[in-house]
Structure 1
Amino acid sequence: MRNLRISWLWLTTSFRAAPLLMTISAVLVAARAITAPAQTYGLSLLIEGLASDKSSTIALGIGIIVGGLAVAFVADVIGWPLQDTAQERMAGRVHADLLDVTTGIPGLTHHERPDVADRLELVRERAWRMGVGAEVLLWAFATVANTVTVLGLLGSVNPLLLLLPLLGATRIWSAYVSSTRQHKAWEDSMPQERLVDRLIEVAKDARTGLELRVFGLGQVLLDRIFSLQTDRYRRRVEAARWGGKVDGSVRLAFGLAYAGAIVWVIARARNGQQTAGDVVLVLLLAPQVDQMTGGIARNVYWIGEVVRSFSRYDWLREYAKDNAWQTSVEPAPARITSGIELRNVGFSYPGTDSAVLSDVNLVLPAGSAVALVGENGAGKTTLVKLLARMYDPTTGRVLVDGVDLATISPDAWRSQLSAGFQDFVKFELTAREVVGIGDVERESDEAAVRAAISRGDAASVVAGLPRGLDTQLGKKFTDGVELSGGQWQRLALARAFMRERPLLLLLDEPTAALDPEAEHRLYEQYAAAARIAAAETGGVTVLVSHRFSTVRMADLIVVMHNGRVEDVGTHEDLLAAHGRYAELFNLQARAYR
């Protein structure tokens, strides 16, 4: 059933990309494939007619030869441009479909699990093989047409000669086992390949260049890359050598068998059991049979590669379907009236058994500003991800005004969020786009973009750009401008201000690259925005920060420790309790004094 689904996916993707071009190309390649054996048959008729002095046979032979030349000419002149265009459209369709499927997965599980990451890497790396699927499909049509024609001609001489293509079919078997072994070597070496790619990125990234040179890590990286590459190539070369030995042995056996068949036909011709035309036909078909079986063998390899690529694509589609949260169809609320509640929430990242959050019970009142504090690894960022519904809790529920967040459409929920993160993305777009994509619907609204830039304290960054908002950012571009870490962060903060009335504003240490004074100004801006959102939509602001001078302005402070909520209260309440918060606050205060 799955094989039929994969084959149908391949066929429909090929023809959906360029239906008319693929139909015409299929007809042309099939016609082109039968011209060589047809012309061979025409030549045998010509010789037969000359030997027996039959004008009709001579004319038929010449007609078949000339007709074959005409078909080949038309197919070559028209066919190749059509096939190239169809292949380009197929490649474009495949890459667009892959992007659509992967970006449509609402959660982050596929980024966290190594086994899923390996398969996704294979899908991406071998996507070009799906892109040539249209060409391989046309090859398959041509091979079928050629095979049927050659078998018919051999059978017309003597049915026993049909055993030769069957013997040649062993080349198909050798190609299959060889490609299977090479594919296994590729899959087994994928972890090393991913690590090599990552190490190469580290070696050439300007952000890591300083530490690499200070600690003298250049040679260490090179040695590690060389070791991994050597292991990868060893596995793949061994598989290729084994396949070469098998294919060479099979071809030798087939050649000897065909030589014996030619001698047998010549002997029969001398005894008057076969005609001169039959001898010529078998002699000329010999290389064509070898080419036919070789073509089938090559097609088996490439068909196998394309089928495996579409198999991974099919797996990705099924994975996306299974992880699409299809039951989450409820609309997001227009406002929050009571608050967001985490009830008995526990969470473990996919592929691990250790709990990051355990038995978390917490209420974030509507209209409140809530600060999450605690040591690194306490579970603060994980809690933020659950609120944004990047994951669903392993146990327990997240409720929004009593409605389970798992029932709300993730896209609808996220359209009501805004966020600023420590690990922000450096979108190498124009400055206008870098900020504007914080609210795609208002991206072209310059007044909204400039207002967000002002609230994000990024006006000085834009003022220093040579073309203002229209400046291309990123040094990868000829006219691109590179920014400092702090400048990138200010633009990321401005992006978070594009949505003016979010139901949930998530701030996970978004000012880590800024000085305390700049951070304080920005949080005052966030506080003002939060108060407006709270009054109009009951919006909740969640702040993660290690600077206690900032978190003290929150309405509610949540102290986390080892994945649990240890204490909840205002700044004054928590100081008076003399617990972990007071200890951490006084420790930081002493450091400032």
Structure 2
Amino acid sequence: MPESVRALRLWITTAFRAAPALVVAQCLLAVLQAVTAPAQTLGVKLLVDGITGDDSSAIGWGTAVIILGFTVMFVGMVISGPIQDTTAERVAGQVYRDLLDVTVSVPSIIHHEHPEVADKLELIREHAWRLGMSFEMLLFIIGTAANTVAVLGLLGSVHPVLLLLPVLGLGRVWSSYLSIRRLQDAFEETAPQGRVIDRLIEISKDARNGLEVRVFGLRSVLVDRLSRLHDELYDVQGTAMRKGALLDGSVRLLFGLVYAAAIVWAIARARAGGISAGDVVLLILVAPQVDQMAGGLAGNVYWLGEVLRSFGRYEWLRTYAEKNSWAQSREPAPTRLSAGIRLENVEFSYPGSERPVLKNVNLTLPAGATVALVGENGAGKTTLVKVLARLYDPSAGTVWIDDTDLRTIDPAAWRKRMSAGFQDFVKFQLTAREVVGIGDTERQDDEQAIQAALVRGDAEAVVARLPKGLDTQLGKKFTGGMELSGGQWQRLALARAFMRERTLLLLLDEPTAALDPEAEHVLFERFAEASRVAARETGGVTILVSHRFSTVRMADLIVVMVDGQVTEVGSHEELLDLDGRYAELFEMQARAYR
């Protein structure tokens, strides 16, 4: 099925799924309102013919049609507004719910790393409001179709050759479509520049960036970069606009000249007795309606094209989500690890990059072990963590959970058996209770579980300082919201990570970067205790990424990574005896402390 047809089908079905009864009622009302003006024009024709021909029946019918038309217009104006507003709100709500559901249904995050996919996702996000207004455009199409049929019927009743006039009028629609298509292509071409412009604006207005922007004098750098990008963007888009305006103006001029000639022709035929005076009046009154119809289509072809293009992107997103849903992964997640997690010849490369981030990784993480990943920035530690969480699938090789390929395990079921704390944690602007509780949505209202997580995350003191305790709204974006320091946010993020108990995999990627070494040491002791509990009950594995060797040395197993490869594996003492890269890094940090 062609992409445009799939997009049109999605457009129509989205509206009917949102509010079927209201949509049907609104469509019928749109048809009645659309044929009102042509019907009244017919009434005027009958009235003129009746008066000039002394035909009382034609006068009566003409008067009745005109009065009925005014009645329909009045009733439509009264009831269509509330119905249309209600329906549009429901359609917009349906669209935004569907977009959110489809977007977050993709189990992997690899699409965020692909520039082409990221551009399309950005366009979908920016233009989502067009999907919400789609119902109004749908009504416009239905009304225009009904109006076109009525106008063609009137013109054909005067003379068949006049049916060519609306066809010429549709030339304006054709020219507008070409102009808008050229402009849309320009928008697609400049999408990367648009994304960078948005990011630069975000940098300049975000209070967190204000200090560095001023200290390093970045004002001119940001403004110059923004100006260059705007020049590039407007050069492409402006050229498309100028060409479109020239084409549209030429077609409109031709349409006006031909319609003027048709009216002169009709007057001449009426004087010769070929048509009635009412027919001439009909043609004169229909002329503005044809112009209005063509102008309405020409004026709205941009929005029609944009809505259809937006639904095309939305259909692409739905197809992408379906193809990348990992539907073949249906094995249940184990409830306990007996052997552990094993990586066999694992490699990974980001989309569009030929350079692998992970290279031939062979590693065994024993059940119940606390494992520390060590290495310089860019060594591949965080990528390895994401592969274990199955946010990515390896480009080559296999991750074994005991004797089961991780690719075959339902990703949602696997993630329910794991938890994580990251350096780049999200500052959810919710209540403190929710910020912690969403770490385990099945127990987010369990007060005892939340309190236990606060203890394990060393976050009791943070909550104690909040004016309303756990019920305090966090974040300055809300009235009365309480802003926290980086360390306080991080402690709540750690408490969130500890909401899930008896996990098979606990991932801690620089989870204490905003804390001092002493606080990190205390927290890691709690991590170790949680790991020992998990080891006894589930054989769970704890993975810790940290640059502080005073903490790392407490791990059961230390894995050293260099340039995407595992170069050393062992305990702290074993790696010191090996006198390799780990010993070198440890000694460098120890000298710094001394």
Which TM-score bucket, shorter chain as reference? over 0.9
CA distance in 2 between counterparts of 1:64 and 1:406 reads 70
Q: Which residue of 2 aligns with 1:184?
A: 185
* Alignment pair present for 1:26 and 2:24: no
Q: 2:551 aligns to what? A: 550
Q: Distance in 2 between matches of 1:94 and 1:157?
A: 46
Q: Write the distance in 1 (CA, Å) between the matches of 2:238 and 2:182.
A: 11
Q: Distance in 1 between matches of 2:148 and 2:442?
A: 57
SS in 2 for 1:360: strand
Moved more, 300-309 or 439-448: 300-309
Distance 1:137 1:420 in 2: 46
Distance of 1:473 and 1:132 partners within structure 2 = 33
- Alignment correspondent of 1:356: 357
Shift of the alpha carbon at 1:274? 1.2
Structure 1 stretch 217-226 or stretch 571-580: which is displaced more?
Answer: 217-226
2:6–2:312 CA contact under 8 A, matched in 1: no
The question of 1:326 aligning with 2:327 is answered yes
Q: Distance in 1 between matches of 2:309 and 2:419?
A: 40
Q: Secondary structure at the match of 1:184?
A: helix
Where does residue 218 of structure 1 map in the other structure? 219
Counterpart of 2:61?
Answer: 60
Query: Distance between the aligned counterparts of 1:221 and 1:490, measured in 2?
Result: 34
- Once the two structures are overlaid, the 10-residue window that deviates more, 289-298 or 132-141, is 289-298
Letter in 2 for 1:193: G
State the distance in 2 between where 1:360 and 1:578 align. 22
Q: Report the AA paired with residue 445 of structure 2.
A: S
**Alpha-carbon distance in 1 for matches of 2:395, 2:586:** 32
Give the superposition deviation at 1:208. Answer: 1.2
TM-score, normalised by the number of residues in structure 2: 0.98
Aligned-residue offset at 1:233: 3.1
Q: CA deviation at 1:131?
A: 1.1
Cα distance in 1, alignment partners of residues 549 and 340 from structure 2:
25
Letter in 2 for 1:74: V
Rounded to whole Å, the distance in 2 between the matches of 1:147 and 1:10 is 22
Amino acid at match of 2:89: E
Structure 2 counterpart of 1:151, one-letter code: L
Letter in 2 for 1:219: S
Equivalent residue, structure 1, for 2:510: 509
Give the counterpart letter for 2:575 in structure 1: L
Q: Say which is worse superposed, 576-585 or 329-338, in terms of deviation.
A: 576-585
Note the alpha carbon deviations across 1:310-329, whole angstroms, 9 max, x for none: 10000000000111111011
Equivalent position of 2:152 in the other structure: 151
Letter in 2 for 1:578: D
- Residues 475-508 of structure 1: CA distance to partner in whole angstroms, max 9, x if unpaired? 1112011111111111111111111211101111
Q: Distance in 2 between matches of 1:478 and 1:66?
A: 55
Work out the CA distance in 2 between the residues paired with 1:209 and 1:427. Answer: 21
Matched, 1:256 2:257: yes
Offset at residue 302 of structure 1 (A):
2.5
Counterpart contact for 1:36–1:68, Cα < 8 Å:
yes
Q: Does the 8 Å CA contact 1:140/1:299 hold for their aligned counterparts?
A: no
Distance 1:373 1:224 in 2: 37
Residues 370 and 555 in structure 1, CA contact (< 8 A), matched pair in contact too: yes
Secondary structure, aligned partner of 1:34: helix
The aligned amino acid for 1:454 is V
- Cross-structure match for 1:536: 537
The residue type equivalent to 1:70 in the other structure is T
Structure-2 separation of matches of 1:475 and 1:299: 41
Please list the CA deviations of residues 258-287 of structure 1 after superposition, one character each: whole Å capped at 9, or x if unmatched.
111111111111111111111111111111
Whether the aligned pair in 2 keeps the contact of 1:339 and 1:366 (CA below 8 Å) is yes
Deviates more, 1:472-481 or 1:513-522: 472-481
Post-superposition offset of 1:216: 1.0
1:222 Cα deviation from its structure 2 partner: 2.1
Partner in structure 2 of residue 163 of structure 1: 164
Residue 412 (structure 1) shift: 0.3
Task: Please give the residue correspondences for 1:110-509 in structure 2 after superposition, counting only pairs within 5 Å.
Answer: 110-509=111-510
**1:88 partner letter:** E
**Equivalents in 2 of 1:130, 1:434: separation in Å?**
31
| Deviation at residue 223 of structure 1 after TM alignment | 2.5
In the alignment, the residues of structure 2 paired with residue 163 and residue 6 of structure 1 have an alpha-carbon distance, to the nearest angstrom, of: 31
Structure 2 stretches lacking a partner, 5+ long: none
1:155-205 deviation per Cα after TM superposition (whole angstroms, max 9, x unaligned): 110111111111111111111101101111211221111111111111111
For the residues of structure 1 that align with 2:423 and 2:139, how far apart are their CA atoms?
51
Q: Distance in 2 between matches of 1:476 and 1:28?
A: 43
C-alpha separation between the residues in 2 aligned to 1:7 and 1:384?
42
Q: 1:75 Cα deviation (Å)?
A: 1.6
* Residues 222-276 of structure 1 deviation map (CA, whole Å, 9 limit, x = unaligned): 2322332233234333322322222221111111111111111111111111111
Q: Distance in 2 between matches of 1:477 and 1:166?
A: 56
Range with bigger deviation, 471-480 or 228-237: 228-237
Measure the CA separation in 1 of the matches of 2:289 and 2:434. 59
Q: Which segment is superposed worse, 380-389 or 187-196? A: 187-196
- Distance (Å, rounded) in 1 between the aligned partners of 2:13 and 2:167: 31
Q: Distance in 2 between matches of 1:78 and 1:208?
A: 51
1:108/1:391 contact within 8 Å kept: yes
Paired residue secondary structure (1:566): strand
After superposition, what is the alpha-carbon deviation per residue over 1:94-152, rounded to whole angstroms, capped at 9, x for unaligned?
11100000000000111111110000011111111111111111111110110011111
Q: Separation in 2 of the partners of 1:375 and 1:301?
A: 52
- Distance in 2 (alpha carbons) for counterparts of 1:241 and 1:17: 39
Instruction: Look up the match of 1:580.
Output: 581
| Amino acid in the other structure paired with 2:269 | R
Conservation of the 8 A alpha-carbon contact between 1:372 and 1:380: yes
**Structure 2 letter corresponding to 1:168:** G
Does the residue aligned with 2:383 lie in a helix, a strand or coil?
A: helix
Count matched residues. 593
1:299 Cα offset (Å): 4.1
The aligned residue for residue 74 of structure 2 is 73
Structure 1 stretches of 4+ moved >6 Å: none
Q: Conserved in 2, the CA contact under 8 Å of 1:520 and 1:550?
A: yes
- Corresponding residue SS for 1:325: coil
Structure-1 separation of matches of 2:31 and 2:469: 58
Amino acid in the other structure paired with 2:461: S
Letter matched to residue 57 of structure 1: A
Q: TM-score when scaled to structure 1?
A: 0.98
The worse-fitting range, judged by mean Cα deviation, of 214-223 and 189-198 is 214-223
What is the identity, as a one-letter code, of the residue corresponding to 1:567? E
Percent identity over paired residues: 65
- Aligned partner of residue 332 in structure 1, secondary structure: coil
Question: SS where residue 359 of structure 1 aligns?
Answer: strand
Taking the aligned partners of 2:165 and 2:420, their CA distance within structure 1 comes to 69
How far, CA to CA, are the matches of 1:501 and 1:145 in structure 2? 64
Whole-angstrom distance in 1 between the partners of 2:198 and 2:381: 31
**C-alpha separation in 2, matches of 1:383 and 1:580:** 19
- Comparing 227-236 with 535-544, greater Cα deviation is found at 227-236
